[in-house]
Structure 1
């Protein structure tokens, strides 16, 4: 994840319903006489109350110190002129555009599209199609030619000709010759909206009516309809794929097969996951993974193997993905999420889909009712005369005397838009495919589109004035973006490059970075006492672990497992009752397993070297530098807190 995205993660999570704010707006404190108000402090405190992990940050006195420190840094950024950085300005503009999308919406239409999309997500459709390509802006003659082709194919398919054979021979989808038009299974939001709608409105075994998308004309045959697979919870054991340079390329495969045999012999999946799984994020939990649905993991092989399991506690055979060798155990199957659970996700998908055109049309209608606008007929007539038939061939040019058309042709509230702006708009529309004739009607169509564009632009320009929550979030992001650049310059880069300062900080705090007791050990386990006795005897004869396995694991029976390495006290791989003594242990039992260990070295608790704990030390050093820096900023800027007002704010926030 990009560090800047992480830095602004909480800002992006802000909703647009607003927060309860003080009705009065008073100056809470000043920095060099610049005021900061109670309403902003209260709003930000309430928003972050559930997000902070440090309980001290919920204390209002402590939070005020943090808030003042934040504003001091922002003031420093402005003092250094970071707000003039073109990259900063570009990123701020981009963020505003992204944030504004939430306001270019129609709740009613959006809700209808959400419900339609959710209902379709209950099913997965297997379909084939035939495509005859035609550009969206093709001439009427080319459009008619393409339509006649698809119409002929539609009649032939309806008459009983093999759909796949027709697709292979005639479809202009490049993949059709190989797959005979077969698209496999898909659900809502996987295809362009008109195609999806045709597929979902066609019964199983039937062929759709002719439809047009931006790619051309299609007919669709629905081969199958099945229920969406939903989500699953599974546990897994993973042995990482060998590296190219590893001498034993079969070691991972052999290990996973040995583990699988142990499971078949009745040993517990979770215990084996803790001992041997190399997915460290799940091994301590017995291999348990978070629930997931189709397409949510980066391994299709893993997903298909998981969904193939039917009953809880069912275990897959070993299989390989691009990450390693796996065994999966099904914990639970989950149905498709509820509508409430998916609402936000569906709304985001709709915004990126052809469905959004419905929302755009609705918004345009509302803006025409919301704002006062007027066309200057006289000026518009003068401008309209400049547009000629050359437009249809994309050969029309903005007139050389375009600067003569600066009189307004459109007024929205008090904003005036001149004829020059309209002519420049027309120039950009020449490749839009608008072919209305004669030119007089063409100009009227272009004007209506221009009016909607200008109304949207006016609405966009006034979002801060119309929506206080939008203004608040933009202010936070504006300051946060500056702060990120400043922190990178003053703290993060320095902590990475100041090797002398980092070394001194480590020397002063190294007792805070300790290894627990560690042990270099070979662990042998078995569920059978007679087999562990044999392993102990071989171990005493200085037989290597791999040779012990080879002797005692006969045929398809895995009698013992071995694990060697350096482990820190408390590691899940270590038996809890193991003694930290050099030498070979007696046999001991934990749960259903018998163990014997050979400890080659006991490494006492010791201070970690700087390299061994660099990440943590760098993080601590950054916090140390930041605190010193804030103290310096308090000397550089004059901060005055209105204590009486702060006491009133505290009573309001913590009555």
Structure 2
């Protein structure tokens, strides 16, 4: 189903394949201790060590599918080839490209997130979110808008409004009516504040907390989110729907240019009639479903849960089926017309199964603030830090009340404040850095008064920021695994840029080269014998006999369908196409010769095939095999390129050392 409902970005696919395919195979190095082992080989005198080669080989031995990559001699060739490409990238200066720098910075930022964590707090949040994911809450809410940085006066005004509404509800007024009249959520006028069903991670954390701690039928306490003040009423709680395995039959929606816009709908209805006539769902899916990723398996899809597919219509129908083998009526999604059969229901995953996913979601959620607070406390204990009170006092005199109107500017002599206001271990943080920090804070209104209190708060936030910066700057020094994964990303991104430049773009634009490659490899791309034929099937022998008689009289396929099928009963199904030898849609006993075949029975179906034309074996045109041929051309170009790199760079392999490594790895 995902192959129909989702499209992948080609660039992302290539990058992912490169970094997590070849790189994972060749260079997943987590704890390299460079310069501690013997030199295995050099590239222009740059050494590469036995320790890295041995560890990578052992780590990935069970992952490789190509047996040649398990052979140590072949593996060394691949390893050297990879290092040659990286050296070439550096030689071309690709590491100076701004896009590359930005991508590497982004990757580092993502990777570093794993180190800005608190295991204990995270585990508590994982357990809480998992427990909540067992349920879906249905709630309505009333919102009074107020910015999270609003003035005290505006905040109090908003609070009084929500308090008055809460009091009116407590006295018996209808929640829905008040939501429609007074809520400042724009949708409330139509939905009376109804938010439908939701579970953990669907709302901001404060809202989720209120929803999951308020009993059914009750109204919550007043609570605040970044949007304003809320109260909510929980109207229902139901178990999470879990996951389901279903099979489906799909007929793609017509294209805008199609003349018969009802063809897909009529076809799915015909198939539904056949199912109701007792024909097997799986057999119909194999023969007629246009979801080619599932049709060969009788339409069976991988199991999925709420929100995992791109079609809400499909999910809702699938989850509405109660018992195994229940079958839906035909329905339409944005992708096509479907009939769905329930195979199995699956309960919500276990906590252990969901942990990685939950941890990732927590890191992107408001609840991560708990983790941040814990990290700040740990870093204050981890690093020695000292505030220069004299410098702080001098800077404080420069900040005026213009700060509250966002009109305060850095003083002309700000650059002179080079003395440290903060020292973290041996790192000095200049006073002007704190001045610049204060200037930025007025862009996000800060209403803490007086100035002295605001500056104390600002310094504490500044201290936490600088401690985290210092920790981040030293991740490579403190964590060997982080340092080496960054090495992999660094080289992998360079290699991607290099491959794009040297191989991928060339294979797409070098039409003459591709044509020549086709000329010397075209006999590897052959059509088998093919026929232009019409295949007609029925579960009824008498109907297929009528079909044979009509075909012999020259009756067209459409006329046969119109005459033998009725609005109530689908007696025959007809497919006209070009079929290659071995095509599963052709009856197995079909002879590749013009004429009408004998009736054959396969399973519960009777088939007759009318062959109009036999197409001989032959070479595919370049256009007919272009996708596969381009991929082969890329591999050809890459191998030639690696051969050229071996001439460009001076490679020296220490054969005695390699023999020693081979013996160790074979033990």
Q: Does the residue aligned with 1:612 lie in a helix, a strand or coil?
A: coil
Work out the CA distance in 1 between the residues paired with 2:665 and 2:206: 51
Q: Does the residue aligned with 2:625 lie in a helix, a strand or coil?
A: helix
Structure 2 counterpart of 1:9:
16
Match of 1:181 among 193, 201, 204: 193
Quick check: 2:42–2:48 contact (8 Å CA) kept in 1?
yes
Structure 2 counterpart of 1:425:
437
Work out the CA distance in 1 between the residues paired with 2:498 and 2:322: 54
Work out the CA distance in 1 between the residues paired with 2:59 and 2:103: 24
Structure 2 counterpart of 1:564:
576
Structure 1 counterpart of 2:450:
438
Matched, 1:92 2:96: no
Matched, 1:265 2:277: yes
Aligned-pair CA distance for 1:248: 1.4
Structure 2 counterpart of 1:601:
613
Structure 1 counterpart of 2:5:
none
Structure 2 counterpart of 1:358:
370
Work out the CA distance in 1 between the residues paired with 2:666 and 2:590: 52
Work out the CA distance in 2 between the residues paired with 1:12 and 1:632: 26
Structure 1 counterpart of 2:74:
62
Quick check: 1:522–1:598 contact (8 Å CA) kept in 2?
yes
Match of 1:519 among 523, 531, 534: 531
Quick check: 1:22–1:38 contact (8 Å CA) kept in 2?
no
Aligned-pair CA distance for 1:437: 2.5
Structure 1 counterpart of 2:419:
407
Aligned-pair CA distance for 1:653: 3.6
Give TM-score scaled by structure 1 length: 0.97
Quick check: 1:284–1:572 contact (8 Å CA) kept in 2?
no
Matched, 1:465 2:477: yes
**Counterparts of 1:207-606 in structure 2 under 5 Å?**
207-606=219-618
Match of 1:116 among 114, 117, 128: 128
Quick check: 1:236–1:273 contact (8 Å CA) kept in 2?
yes
Aligned-pair CA distance for 1:41: 2.4
Work out the CA distance in 1 between the residues paired with 2:184 and 2:271: 50
Structure 1 counterpart of 2:162:
150
Aligned-pair CA distance for 1:419: 0.4
Quick check: 1:236–1:288 contact (8 Å CA) kept in 2?
yes
Unaligned runs of 5+ in 2: 1-7
Matched, 1:141 2:153: yes
Q: Does the residue aligned with 2:613 lie in a helix, a strand or coil?
A: strand
Match of 2:50 among 38, 41, 44: 38
Quick check: 2:596–2:608 contact (8 Å CA) kept in 1?
yes
Quick check: 1:320–1:326 contact (8 Å CA) kept in 2?
yes
Task: Give a deviation string over 1:481-506, Cα, whole Å, max 9, x none.
Answer: 11111111111111112222211211
Q: Does the residue aligned with 2:444 lie in a helix, a strand or coil?
A: coil
Aligned-pair CA distance for 1:58: 2.1
Task: Give a deviation string over 1:452-476, Cα, whole Å, max 9, x none.
Answer: 0000000111111111111111111
Aligned-pair CA distance for 1:319: 0.7
Work out the CA distance in 2 between the residues paired with 1:43 and 1:109: 34
Residue 372 to residue 155, structure 1, CA distance change in 2 (3 Å): same
Q: Does the residue aligned with 1:191 lie in a helix, a strand or coil?
A: coil
Q: Does the residue aligned with 1:435 lie in a helix, a strand or coil?
A: coil
Structure 2 counterpart of 1:206:
218
Quick check: 2:31–2:484 contact (8 Å CA) kept in 1?
no
Quick check: 1:136–1:433 contact (8 Å CA) kept in 2?
no
Aligned-pair CA distance for 1:253: 1.0
Quick check: 2:219–2:233 contact (8 Å CA) kept in 1?
yes
Work out the CA distance in 2 between the residues paired with 1:498 and 1:390: 63
Aligned-pair CA distance for 1:436: 2.6
Task: Give a deviation string over 1:503-539, Cα, whole Å, max 9, x none.
Answer: 1211111111111221211111111111111111111
Structure 2 counterpart of 1:631:
643
Task: Give a deviation string over 1:203-256, Cα, whole Å, max 9, x none.
Answer: 111110000000000000001000000111111111111112212111111111
Quick check: 1:20–1:43 contact (8 Å CA) kept in 2?
no
Tell which deviates more after alignment, 4-13 or 545-554. Answer: 4-13
Aligned-pair CA distance for 1:153: 0.7
Residue 12 to residue 512, structure 1, CA distance change in 2 (3 Å): closer
Quick check: 1:30–1:639 contact (8 Å CA) kept in 2?
yes
Tell which deviates more after alignment, 382-391 or 119-128. Answer: 382-391
Quick check: 1:137–1:432 contact (8 Å CA) kept in 2?
yes
Aligned-pair CA distance for 1:643: 2.2
Aligned-pair CA distance for 1:554: 2.6
Residue 414 to residue 7, structure 1, CA distance change in 2 (3 Å): farther
Structure 2 counterpart of 1:614:
626
Work out the CA distance in 2 between the residues paired with 1:150 and 1:538: 78
Quick check: 1:513–1:608 contact (8 Å CA) kept in 2?
yes
Residue 300 to residue 425, structure 1, CA distance change in 2 (3 Å): same
Quick check: 2:535–2:607 contact (8 Å CA) kept in 1?
yes
Structure 2 counterpart of 1:78:
90
Work out the CA distance in 1 between the residues paired with 2:310 and 2:504: 32
Give TM-score scaled by structure 2 length: 0.95
Aligned-pair CA distance for 1:541: 1.4
Quick check: 1:21–1:42 contact (8 Å CA) kept in 2?
no
Aligned-pair CA distance for 1:47: 4.5
Work out the CA distance in 1 between the residues paired with 2:503 and 2:556: 51
Work out the CA distance in 2 between the residues paired with 1:463 and 1:558: 69
Q: Cα RMSD (Å) of the superposition?
A: 1.8
Aligned-pair CA distance for 1:370: 1.0
Work out the CA distance in 2 between the residues paired with 1:251 and 1:442: 70
Task: Give a deviation string over 1:289-344, Cα, whole Å, max 9, x none.
Answer: 11111111111111111111111111111111111111111111111111111111
Task: Give a deviation string over 1:582-635, Cα, whole Å, max 9, x none.
Answer: 101121111111111101112222211111001111111111111111111111
Structure 1 counterpart of 2:4:
none
Work out the CA distance in 2 between the residues paired with 1:461 and 1:195: 36
Tell which deviates more after alignment, 587-596 or 172-181. Answer: 587-596
Quick check: 1:22–1:42 contact (8 Å CA) kept in 2?
no
Aligned-pair CA distance for 1:60: 2.1
Aligned-pair CA distance for 1:20: 6.7
Task: Give a deviation string over 1:258-280, Cα, whole Å, max 9, x none.
Answer: 11111111111111111111111
Work out the CA distance in 2 between the residues paired with 1:148 and 1:297: 43
Aligned-pair CA distance for 1:155: 1.3
